[in-house]
Copies of this chain bind each other. A is one copy, B any other.
């Protein structure tokens, strides 16, 4: 089917020069999807807070959800709905400003009412509508505003509406997050929001991905699990896991390109992973208060799972994250975090690099130049590589620094 070309907002890809294509439309890149994003008063600022993504055809759909024991009403609802209907989904309705978590049976009834009202507006069944919510925990959905949102969003649906939709799901995000790839036959595009409560195993992270490929439910679910494992589950902003994390992928088959051979599935999975990885990295880059994007690569592990554990321990270490914020190449904190990851690492076998600067080997700091290591972490993009010297497995995790602004944002989130 040929190579997948990324449709990145910037710089424009040569095959999709600015003007001829709007890669920012994310979920509406694939054929047969329309979207909209409107304001219905959930956000005090009057900004867009209500999004709708609709397919003209029934969609095969797969979802992955937070593993938190405390799950928001829409998470419970979507899981139950997908268990009954994973091949005729028509719409995803999403609101920001209110997470509808810890709201009990009443909250679940609100989610059901949201799906039912959306279905009425679109002329489909309620069990063809999935619901996403993000925002403050423990407050009931203001249903009159939700109904207002539906009445505004449904007539606004259009095939370039992905941009508006991606803005409507933002909370403390400072910018919308979209990405898409396509080859000669089909496209995969998505949007997501993140910012806080971002942690391995999903986050206050909502993502909706659409494709016009044709694929069976079990193949789509498997591709999504594979893609999420190395993308959304490899990012961390603050180590907190949310009650609302959801990734949905909808395949409407509008391209008539059927994904069934082993090679097709591999290509599709690779392309879906590309989309998920780019979206996940965008979440980290826009982490609450983040001033630096940090890629942590752990190599030389005995097993991938061990590499992941070490990389995540480093990614979640407040001391490492504050040091990076302060521009302090404090390799000792990285080594110490690796030491408490619960993996049998051996300091004498470990080697650590900040960028290209090898700062640690043989259980000791190398004779590196402090100016070089400081330069290696001075920019907005930092690469840390730790070789454990124990095997051939590796893993990559993305995180950001921990700044004064993170504390400011989260000290006063509700007020």
Contacts and interface: CB of A to CB of B under 8 A. Distances in A.
A116 interface: no
A136 B327 CA distance: 16
B407 A330 contact: no
A197 B320 CA distance: 10
Contact of A242 (B325, B336, B360): B336
A363 interface: yes
Interface in A359-409: 360, 362-365, 402-404, 406-409
A241 interface: yes
A326 interface: yes
Contact of A346 (B69, B102, B343): B69
B326 A411 contact: yes
Interface residues of A, number: 69
A400 to B, nearest CB: 12
Contacts of A142: none
Contacts of A408: 404
Given A70-B339, A323-B413, A102 B332 contact: yes
A346 B71 CA distance: 10
A338 B67 CA distance: 12
Interface stretch (A41-49, A259-267, A311-319): A311-319
A365 B410 CA distance: 20
Given A332-B102, A336-B240, A363-B102, A406 B70 contact: no
A101 to B, nearest CB: 7
A415 interface: yes
A196 interface: yes
Contact of A240 (B104, B318, B364, B414): B318
A104 B349 CA distance: 12
Contact of A322 (B67, B69, B337, B411): B411
A317 B345 CA distance: 26
Nearest to A325: B411
B68 A339 contact: yes
A137 interface: yes
A270 interface: no
A326 B411 CA distance: 4
Contacts of A335: 70, 102, 137-138, 243
A411 B407 CA distance: 14
Contacts of A69: 338-340, 343-347
A304 interface: no
Contacts of A339: 68-71, 241, 243
Nearest to A408: B404
A331 interface: yes
B104 A197 contact: no
A328 B413 contact: yes
Contacts of A138: 331-332, 335, 360, 364-365
Contact of A411 (B196, B328, B365): B328
A340 B241 contact: yes
Nearest to A415: B328
A316 B239 contact: yes
Q: Which of A69, A103, A199, A402 has the most CB of B within 10 A?
A: A69
A110 to B, nearest CB: 12
A407 to B, nearest CB: 5
Q: Which of A241, A331, A339 has the most CB of B within 10 A?
A: A339
B413 A402 contact: no
12 contacts: A68-B339, A70-B345, A102-B332, A104-B364, A136-B332, A138-B360, A197-B336, A239-B318, A240-B340, A322-B409, A326-B410, A330-B414
Listed from nearest, the 4 A-B pairs whose CB atoms lie closest are A326-B411, A137-B332, A70-B339, A322-B410
